Copies of this chain bind each other. A is one copy, B any other.
Amino acid sequence: MFILVNLKAYPCDPIEVATAARDVAEASGARIAVSPQAADLARVAETGAETWAQHVSPNEHGSHTGSTLAEAAADNGAEGTLVNHSEKRLKLADIDGSVRAAERAGLETIVCGNNPAQIGAAAALGPDAVAVEPPALIGGDVSVATADPGIVEDAVAAAEAVDDDVDLFCGAGVSTGEDVAAAGDLGAAGVLLASGVAKADDPEAVLEDLVSGL
């Protein structure tokens, strides 16, 4: 199981979370990555934590202002990128472009969608993984461990129907080690978390709990 912590634009200290992620990953052997704002990529990567971008532009080098090229993310230490997060919805052609750009720059990709149809579409674009963010689980009060298992299983099935090489991540409803284990049991290869870690008083303790059942 791969645990990816999206720092969004939270008022957290990205270095503190990244340091905790690095330490828990090293101690547990679990794969944990941190995804900060583009401007923080270099400083986060310097901690030694696995670092992911939250988004990369579909563009190639050229006259583009205000974008983050996949190459710029990689040059500053990113090893992968989210694409089409529910807070950064992209045009279909741009999801395609961003996945191609990430491949070109050597970044892994996780493309998000919020129902099985969109997950199937995302899988058709050939990313490394897709992440389902079911509206029923967004917001954090419902746990994937107790929710209707069909929500995740249907997304796994939709992805596999299109491309059985693509991994599925559970993008919502995960806040404890029990949830991580439940997501894995439903067929997920990883989970996306955000405020549960990024806004925690003690991110390291939360991460230790998350990997406890692996």
**Given that A9-B63, A63-B9, A195-B63 are contacting pairs, would A162 and B68 also be in contact in the complex, using a CB cutoff of 8 Å?**
no
Residues 64-123 (chain A) with a chain B CB within 8 angstroms: 64-69, 71-73, 75-76, 78, 82, 84-96, 113-115, 117-118, 120-123
Kindly state whether residue A147 has any CB partner on chain B within 8 Å.
no
Set B61, B94, B195: member contacting A10, Cβ < 8 A? B61
Q: How far is the CA of A78 from the CA of B125 in the complex (A)?
A: 31
Q: In whole angstroms, how far apart are the Cα atoms of A55 and B96 in the complex?
A: 21
Chain copies in the assembled complex: 4
For A, the interface residue count at a CB cutoff of 8 angstroms equals 64
A93–B87 CB distance below 8 A: no
Set of chain B residues within 8 Å of A68, measured between Cβ atoms: 37-39, 68
Seen from chain A, the residues whose Cβ lies within 8 Å of a Cβ on chain B are 6, 8-11, 37-43, 53-55, 57, 59-69, 71-73, 75-76, 78, 82, 84-96, 113-115, 117-118, 120-126, 158, 161-162, 194-195
- Asked if A55 contacts B66 (CB within 8 A), the reply is yes
When C-beta atoms are compared, the residue in chain B nearest to A13 turns out to be B75
Can you pick out 7 interface pairs between chain A and chain B where the beta carbons lie within 8 Å of each other?
Answer: A8-B62, A37-B69, A55-B65, A65-B86, A90-B91, A92-B121, A117-B126
Q: Is the CB of B72 within 8 A of A9?
A: yes
A89 in complex: contacting residue of B9, B76, B91, B113, CB < 8 Å: B91
A115/B92 contact (C-beta < 8 A), A66-B55, A69-B37, A124-B124 known: no
A67 partner, pick from B9, B60, B63, B92, beta carbons under 8 A: B9
